[in-house]
Amino acid sequence: MRHPIARAWQRITDAALSTDPRRRTLVSMALLALLLMASSAGVMLLLAEATQTMNVTAVRWWAAMSVGGLVVMTAFVRSGQTARLGDPSLTIAQMVWTITSGAVAYVLAGEARGIVPSVLAMILFFGTFALTMAEVIGIGVYALTAFGCAIAVSTRFSASTSGYIDTAYALMVFIVLGGCIALNLRIQRIRANLQRKREALAEALAVNRELATRDELTGLLNRRAMQDLMALEQRRALRTGRPLMLAQLDIDHFKPINDTHGHSTGDRALQAFASTVRASVRDTDVLARWGGEEFVLMMAETGPDDARDLLDRVRQAVEALSIPHTTGALRLTVSVGLAQHRTGDTIDQTLERADQALYTAKALGRNRVVLAPPGKGTGGVSARA
């Protein structure tokens, strides 16, 4: 059980930051910006009270406006009303506001305006990771313009008898601005490169996953992927009580094709066979290459009669297939062993029954579909040619 203080603190943070993870992050960042602005305003107020060169009333108004603007923005972020905006954290609005505030502070600070460049650097770095490259450039241009105006105004009304201090302050502001913009752009380029690498890695992983589950020659599921899928379908069939049929398909007399016409012709025959079977079955049926010229077809929520009718159509489509070759056209036939999955059996046991039915189809002359008996043993098979 959590300590009462911990529970109380959790309630307070949930009330302040929201319980939504995304909004919680946005509010936390907005509150950090507000804290930094409040701290900067506090420093300005302290200087105004301690020196005789600053207009205390003007600084107080500046502090109220600067902090108040961020308070309003933070409240909007917390309310969730910014969620549909392109910039839900109001990062650009906050940066424009704080840059404007910083430019005004530069004018009000008088001889103490040397503190402004450090605050400016903090503002520019604060939003770096939330901005795009174009937004960084836009913010940089705005900052240069705003502080250019501030420098011109402060120089115009400066009471200093020497222009060296004003020039030094102005140069420092532009040095800080230029450095911050350059570093921000560099950070954006690094982020872009990292994003490209992440996308390339994700694409490579997707390709690897595809290669790990697909037969390279036919594009069908491979044996391992099919085993996983059959195990999943077995559990579903057990839960729903709906029938599950498995079929073993074997291309008749395939070895002579390789021996007589070569493996490239055999590969084309396998591809043509896979495409023909895939076009003849339903979208819900799953075909996989089991190995060599052997294939497995899984038919969920399908009874024996419907499965046998479907496989007979597959057999006829394969029989009608013609594969062009230099010496003529190759013809294929297929033998099929079909078995219904029984409650209490494993998938391997069902496949073994389908394999026994396949051997029966071969023994009966090939080019036919044989349904394994529902009970134990191999007798009483039903064949269709």
Q: Across 81-85, 175-179, 369-373, which has the greatest mean pLDDT?
A: 369-373
**Averaged pLDDT for residues 144-163:** 70
Taking 70 as the threshold, does the pLDDT of residue 279 lie above it? yes
Taking 90 as the threshold, does the pLDDT of residue 56 lie above it? no
**Averaged pLDDT for residues 86-90:** 83
Q: What is the DSSP string of 262-327?
A: -HHHHHHHHHHHHHHHHHHS-TT-EEEEEETTEEEEEEET--HHHHHHHHHHHHHHHHT-EEEETT
How much is the pTM? 0.53
- Answer yes or no: are the C-beta atoms of 18 and 78 closer than 8 Å: yes
Taking 60 as the threshold, does the pLDDT of residue 193 lie above it? yes
Per-residue tokens: 73: 């923005």
**Record: fold of 223-384:** Alpha-Beta Plaits (3.30.70)
**Averaged pLDDT for residues 196-219:** 82
Domain regions of the chain by residue span: 4-207, 223-384
- Answer yes or no: are the C-beta atoms of 37 and 97 closer than 8 Å: no
Per-residue tokens: 365: 């002359």
The angle subtended at Cα 76 by Cα 75 and Cα 78, nearest 5°, is 65
Closest CA to 233 of 351, 99, 70, 361: 351
Taking 70 as the threshold, does the pLDDT of residue 263 lie above it? yes
| DSSP class of 347 | H
Closest CA to 132 of 59, 184, 210, 63: 184
The angle subtended at Cα 221 by Cα 217 and Cα 224, nearest 5°, is 110
pLDDT in tens, 210-243: 667 889 899 999 999 999 999 999 999 999 899 9
- Answer yes or no: are the C-beta atoms of 300 and 341 closer than 8 Å: no
What is the longest distance spanned by two Cα atoms in the chain? 115
- 377 vs 350, which has greater pLDDT? 350
Per-residue tokens: 284: 């819900």
- Count of CB atoms within 10 A of residue 146's CB? 20
Closest CA to 318 of 294, 298, 297, 334: 334
Taking 50 as the threshold, does the pLDDT of residue 326 lie above it? yes
Instruction: Specify the pLDDT at position 288.
Output: 96
